[in-house]
């Protein structure tokens, strides 16, 4: 007879597979039933159609890589800001070189400034959530 996977066992398997305990199981029934885990860092929830997915290594056929979308989005926010800042710098140079198109470049700068603002909001929201 196969051993029934309890919530505690599933948690242990997931921690062992990921080599950390960043996620906590909220809902668990059995291996083939839906399950939900929570990121302990940001509180975001991740749903699995089959509970066992949470402790299976990520492959093309499924599995879990231990990544949280919200935490990842936060990391990308800093990269995105750097990128937008470099665009703004480039447009400022272009204005110096070609003042006829100034209006267009200023418009582009404004676009990038509002993108930076959005990224900063993501960072702020995340940091409030995680008490960073
Ligand atoms: Zn997270």
> How far is C-alpha 32 from the chain's CA centre?
26
- Each residue of 46-100: pLDDT tens digit? 999 999 999 999 999 899 999 999 999 999 999 999 999 999 999 999 999 988 9
Contact 54, 33 (CB under 8 A): no
pTM of this structure: 0.77
CA of 95 relative to ligand 1 center, distance in Å: 41
CA of 126 relative to ligand 1 center, distance in Å: 9
Burial class (CB in 10 A: 0-12, 13-18, 19+), 14: buried
Residue 132 has pLDDT above 70, yes or no: no
CA of 2 relative to ligand 1 center, distance in Å: 33
CA of 82 relative to ligand 1 center, distance in Å: 22
**Given this model, what pLDDT does residue 66 score?**
96
- Each residue of 116-127: pLDDT tens digit? 999 999 999 999
Contact 53, 62 (CB under 8 A): yes
**Given this model, what pLDDT does residue 14 score?**
98
CA of 70 relative to ligand 1 center, distance in Å: 5
Alpha-carbon torsion (25, 23, 49, 62), positive or negative = negative
Nearest alpha carbon to residue 67 among 35, 42, 34, 49:
42
CA of 40 relative to ligand 1 center, distance in Å: 7
Q: How far is CA 80 from CA 67, 76, 91, 94, 102, in A?
A: 19, 6, 17, 21, 24
> How far is C-alpha 67 from the chain's CA centre?
7
**Given this model, what pLDDT does residue 131 score?**
74
CA of 68 relative to ligand 1 center, distance in Å: 5
Report the run of H or E that residue 73 belongs to, with start and end: helix 69-97
CA of 108 relative to ligand 1 center, distance in Å: 32
Per-residue pLDDT band for 2 (boundaries 50, 70, 90) equals confident
Q: Is 19 left (phi over 0), alpha (psi -120 to 50) or beta?
A: left
Residue 1 has pLDDT above 90, yes or no: no
Residues 21-44 have a mean pLDDT of: 96
């Amino acid at each position: 007879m196969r051993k029934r996977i309890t919530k505690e066992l599933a948690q242990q398997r997931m921690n062992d597979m990921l080599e950390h305990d960043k996620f906590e199981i909220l809902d668990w029934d059995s291996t083939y039933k839906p399950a939900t885990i929570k990121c302990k860092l940001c509180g975001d929830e991740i749903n699995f159609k089959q509970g066992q997915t949470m402790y299976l290594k990520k492959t093309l056929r499924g599995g879990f890589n231990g990544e949280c979308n919200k935490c990842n989005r936060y990391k990308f926010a800093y990269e995105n800001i750097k990128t937008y800042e470099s665009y703004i710098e480039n447009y400022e140079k272009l204005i110096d070189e070609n003042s006829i198109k100034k209006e267009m470049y200023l418009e582009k700068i404004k676009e990038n400034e509002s993108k930076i603002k959005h990224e900063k909001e993501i960072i702020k929201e995340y940091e409030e959530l995680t008490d960073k």
